[in-house]
Amino acid sequence: MSQKTPRNFFKPLAIGAPEPMRDLPVKIERMIHFVPPHLDKVRAKVPDMAPKVDVILANLEDAIPADAKDAARAGAIEMANMYDWQGKGTGFWSRVNPLNSPWFQDDVSELVLKAGHQLDVIMLPKVEGPWDIHFADQYVAQLEAKAGLTRPILFHAILETAQGMSLVEEIALASPRMQGISLGPADLAADRKMKTTRVGGGHPFYRVLEDPHADGSERASVQQDLWHYTIARMVDACRMAGINAFYGPFGDISDLDACEQQFRNAFLLGCAGAWSLHPNQIDIAKRVFSPDPDEVKFARRILEAMPDGTGVAMLDGKMQDDATWKQAKVIADLADLVAAKDPDLAAAYNN
Ligand SMILES: CC(C)(COP(=O)(O)OP(=O)(O)OC[C@H]1O[C@@H](n2cnc3c(N)ncnc32)[C@H](O)[C@@H]1OP(=O)(O)O)[C@@H](O)C(=O)NCCC(=O)NCCSC(=O)C[C@H](O)C(=O)O
Ligand SMILES: [Mg+2]
């Protein structure tokens, strides 16, 4: 048997390392806000930004120049001490460099040994298979033991290679540390040899054309979603493993409408949040990944109409049953989490 036994799955991988979590913390993670830690001007904004977002991520990988990797790592460790992350509830994550890079070992060891007490999640890029998670899992356990940490640091994998895509279910199940997976559309497009230089969103050439008309009139054609299959499969793998799926970056910073549409597609397909690369994407993610007030009120009506979650009811002409009760529960529970952090939305959900 190549799999660990169920009992061994939750055994610490180093003597002295904290017990792996059996249940993940329940948090809202509507936006994972990327910060380039080597830029003093942007890093200085962290204490002001932290209360306004759900997660701040210190990015050490792509978008950080090779000659700034040490500065970015030092900046990330400084960020750990710029805010009371564990006390105030905003997630503090860091995206480290790839496991085969010359920077991975220093990234992970310095983050865990010097910032582990504040670090919630390590984001692992370019994950090829469960073996990457297994390696990082034991390496981090050794470092946690050395640092005397009492809370395990969780992992978030980026789905951005064709091999990783083919093994996404095994990646999702590879460790108790797994808390989520994000789509990385740029690297995945490159690895798949897709013919687009865009970071997420659609492409004007990816369309469906209507059949020819007898009268030769112009045929309607509609742009299609390049990412539907990928996001849907990622969501299935994550939900099967009891973790959350996330849409990653939307690179056209100036196109707020297309960003919102891409985030909304991901939300409707089951994603819990998205990356925000720029301040102008934070409110888009907040708006999209918080349930709509009218949807919340209707969901609560479904729960009230079937208190024990079984049977059938008609609401506004729509059939409700055990399945829609579960759908309603997803929306109502998310609304409760959002309302606890966002007084404006709390008011909108309750008026
Ligand atoms: C994309 C940017 C380089 C744009 O920065 P800039 O040119 O400075 O934008 P603005 O002039 O509009 O900035 C306005 C003010 O906002 C501040 N700012 C900019 N970015 C951030 C930020 N992320 N957090 C906080 N504050 C930010 C500027 O400093 C300006 O402030 P002020 O002058 O005081 O008004 C930049 O946004 C950026 O670097 N974003 C992060 C990009 C990133 O992390 N990319 C990597 C993730 S995507 C990826 O790796 C692909 C993925 O893996 C895949 O494979 O798909
Ligand atoms: Mg990438």
- Summarised one tens digit per residue, pLDDT across range 16-32 is 999 999 999 989 999 99
Same-domain pairing of 78 and 15: yes
Of 289, 317, 342, which residue is a domain's last?
289
> What pLDDT was estimated at residue 89?
85
Position in ligand 1 atom list of the atom nearest CA 249: 48
Q: Which of 129-146 are b and which e, b meaning 16 or more Cβ less than 10 Å from the residue's Cβ? A: bbebbeebbebbbbbbbe
Query: Kind of pairing, strands 121-124 and 221-223?
Result: unpaired
Mean pLDDT of the residues in the chain: 96
Same-domain pairing of 328 and 262: no
Tokens, residue 136: 């990082």
Q: Residues annotated as binding site for substrate?
A: 95, 160
For residue range 238-257, what is the model confidence (pLDDT) as tens digits?
999 999 999 999 999 999 99
Same-domain pairing of 81 and 175: yes
Between the CA of 68 and the centroid of ligand 1 the distance, in Å, is: 16
> What pLDDT was estimated at residue 244?
97
- Segment 318-346 shows an average pLDDT of 92
Whether residue 340 is contained in a domain is answered as: yes
Are the beta carbons of 148 and 116 closer than 8 angstroms? no
Whether residue 1 is contained in a domain is answered as: no
List the shell of residues around ion ligand 2, using CB closer than 5 Å.
160, 184, 187
Are the beta carbons of 331 and 339 closer than 8 angstroms? no
Same-domain pairing of 303 and 193: no
Same-domain pairing of 251 and 301: no
pTM for this structure?
Answer: 0.94
DSSP state of 51: G
Residue 177, exposed/middle/buried by CB under 10 A (0-12, 13-18, 19+)?
buried
> What pLDDT was estimated at residue 179?
98
- Sign of the C-alpha dihedral computed for residues 100, 102, 107 and 108 taken in this order: positive
Same-domain pairing of 324 and 252: no
Residue 301, exposed/middle/buried by CB under 10 A (0-12, 13-18, 19+)?
middle
Are the beta carbons of 35 and 59 closer than 8 angstroms? yes
Same-domain pairing of 41 and 136: yes
Same-domain pairing of 257 and 315: no
Same-domain pairing of 338 and 224: no
Are the beta carbons of 204 and 223 closer than 8 angstroms? yes
Same-domain pairing of 314 and 227: no
For residue range 112-164, what is the model confidence (pLDDT) as tens digits?
999 999 999 999 999 999 999 999 999 999 999 999 999 999 999 999 999 99
Between the CA of 47 and the centroid of ligand 2 the distance, in Å, is: 26
Q: Residues annotated as binding site?
A: 95, 160, 187
pLDDT exceeds 90 at position 4: no
Domain of 150, CATH number, reads 3.20.20.60
Whether residue 195 is contained in a domain is answered as: yes
199 CB within 6 A, ligand 1: yes
187 CB within 6 A, ligand 1: yes
Number of domains in the chain: 2
The residue segments making up the domain with residue 346 are 295-350
Are the beta carbons of 247 and 271 closer than 8 angstroms? yes
Between the CA of 100 and the centroid of ligand 1 the distance, in Å, is: 26
**HSE (CB half, 13 Å, CA atoms) of 16?**
9
Q: Which residues contact 292 (CB under 8 A, 6 or more apart)?
A: none
Between the CA of 254 and the centroid of ligand 1 the distance, in Å, is: 12
pLDDT exceeds 80 at position 2: no
Of all protein residues, the one whose alpha carbon is nearest to atom 53 of ligand 1 is 184
pLDDT exceeds 90 at position 329: yes
Q: Is 315 helix (H, G, I), strand (E, B) or coil?
A: strand
Of 262, 289, 316, which residue is a domain's last?
289
Q: ipTM of this predicted complex?
A: 0.99
% of the chain surpassing 70 pLDDT: 100
Same-domain pairing of 185 and 302: no
Same-domain pairing of 86 and 212: yes
146 CB within 6 A, ligand 1: no
278 CB within 6 A, ligand 1: yes
Are the beta carbons of 123 and 158 closer than 8 angstroms? yes
